[in-house]
Amino acid sequence: MATKMSLTELDDEIVRSMSIGAVFSDFGGKINSLDFHRKDDLLVTASEDDSVRLYDIANAKLIKTTYHKKHGADRICFTHHPSSVICSSRHNLESTGEALRYLSMYDNRCLRYFKGHKERVVSLCMSPVNDSFMSGSLDHSVRIWDLRVNACQGILRLRGRPTVAYDQQGLVFAVAMEGGAIKLFDSRSYDKGPFDTFLVGGDTAEVCDIKFSNDGKSMLLTTTNNNIYVLDAYGGEKRCGFSLEPSPNTTIEATITPDGEYVISGSGDGTLHAWNINMRNEVAAWNSHIGVTACLKWAPRRAMFVAASTVLTFWIPNNCSKPAAETGSTDAQAGLQFEQVGQ
């Protein structure tokens, strides 16, 4: 299944040719989140069955599964180390307060607990340049952490469901909040407050996902009512927008290709769609074959994306694919300020 196709070669025809190259259907529930490692050919998933699973994406192979019955597995992201992840908890949050864990997949150990959030974490991202990471919770707070210390480094209190993302250079981070407002912060001096605010004109739905393009020029937003927007990351102008079918009780995810040219998204009717950002036109629509896709990400260095519901699928250009064998089936306010938190 491996494909080393250069991402600079992506065009409408190649995107249109994407099809399923591998399927993993042995999950005991919905896949809550997934993440690619930035440099290694690795994927990690967190699922409702309390499992965290590590995959070799070059060969579409499951490397390791660990179970986390006490805390569960909800949001997940890689650290810079290929066998270490940050995972948010689904269970026993009130009794333990352990909303986030720093896990070693190598020896199935918890390296550190991060306490502070009172409710479930719904957004999680790692800085691409250092040991900082951010979390947004249903307790209406965003927290900044450092992998090396237990104590929270900064808190932003806000209204609504917070969503967080670093840009690919780690210089800026975005926080989405109530009313469709996106606040941009300098990651080196976030305590000074946001340096800019973008509003998605006319759409006040909550933003449930933010992604920056690799070149930092575009920002991809997905809202809870299944609208997708691409904004100019410098001025906030809307470059394009797309509406998908509603998906009650499931938030969809969209992804942007590493060259910044295409957006891929799920939809409430179980389809997947691809658009050319510059031409603002749809170039492909597929049956996902797995129902409503809740998790969707394009691999950082490959012509490949993964889509997941209760099943995980790897999509690659058709000229590289083998027959899709089933695998593993047996088994908001201008005055917002961060609070400095003492260590």
Q: Each residue's pLDDT tens digit in the chain (343 positions)?
A: 544 555 558 999 999 999 999 999 999 999 999 999 999 999 999 999 999 999 999 999 999 999 999 999 999 999 999 999 999 998 877 778 789 999 999 999 999 999 999 999 999 999 999 999 999 999 999 999 999 999 999 999 998 889 999 999 999 999 998 888 899 999 999 999 999 999 876 677 889 999 999 999 999 999 989 999 999 999 999 999 999 999 998 999 999 999 999 999 999 999 999 999 999 999 999 999 999 999 999 999 999 999 999 999 999 998 754 433 334 433 333 344 444 443 3
- Give the whole-angstrom CA distance, residue 44 versus residue 57: 10
189 within domain boundaries: yes
Q: Which domain holds residue 178?
A: 17-317
Secondary structure class of 14 (helix, strand, coil): helix
342 within domain boundaries: no
Is the CA virtual torsion 248, 126, 100, 206 positive or negative? negative
233 within domain boundaries: yes
Residues 6+ apart with CB under 8 A from 11: none
3 within domain boundaries: no
11 within domain boundaries: no
Task: Give the predicted TM-score (pTM) of the model.
Answer: 0.90
CB 184 within 8 A of CB 171: no
Dig out the tokens for 133 from the structure. 């990471």
1 within domain boundaries: no
Residues 6+ apart with CB under 8 A from 146: 131, 132, 133, 153
Total domains in the chain come to 1
CATH number at residue 79: 2.130.10.10
- Give the whole-angstrom CA distance, residue 184 versus residue 319: 41
Distances (CA, A) of 282 to 243, 253, 295: 11, 17, 20
Residues 6+ apart with CB under 8 A from 325: 22, 23
10 within domain boundaries: no
Q: Report which secondary-structure segment, H or E, holds 214.
A: none
227 within domain boundaries: yes
Residues 6+ apart with CB under 8 A from 261: 10, 276, 277, 278
